[in-house]
Amino acid sequence: MPNETELSAEELIARKEEMKQFFEEAIPFLEAQHKYEKLVAEISEFKYRRLHFDTQAMSLMYQMQNPEEKEVQEPSDSKQEKKLKKG
């Protein structure tokens, strides 16, 4: 296969036309893929929002049913480090 620099003017024009035709034929597939990826991303975002909302609602319901219990917080990094050093 000759290098790009070795192509004649006619061969270069033919190569460009080939490339243009290839890209034009690929556009419908790329548009379909773009639509698919966009829908998948939107669905993932909606699933995340629903999960986040459900988690907040369950937490609120739990707090209303158990008002005497305080919300449990994650230990800070310094407490975790102390536990690791002792163990």
Structural domain spans, the chain: 4-66
For residues 74 and 83, give the distance between their C-alpha atoms in angstroms, rounded to a whole number.
14
For residues 48 and 12, give the distance between their C-alpha atoms in angstroms, rounded to a whole number.
51
pLDDT digits (tens, 9 = 90+) for 2-56: 555 788 999 999 999 999 999 999 999 999 999 999 999 999 999 999 999 999 9
Q: What is the pLDDT of residue 2?
A: 52
Contact status, residue 64 vs residue 72, Cβ threshold 8 Å = no
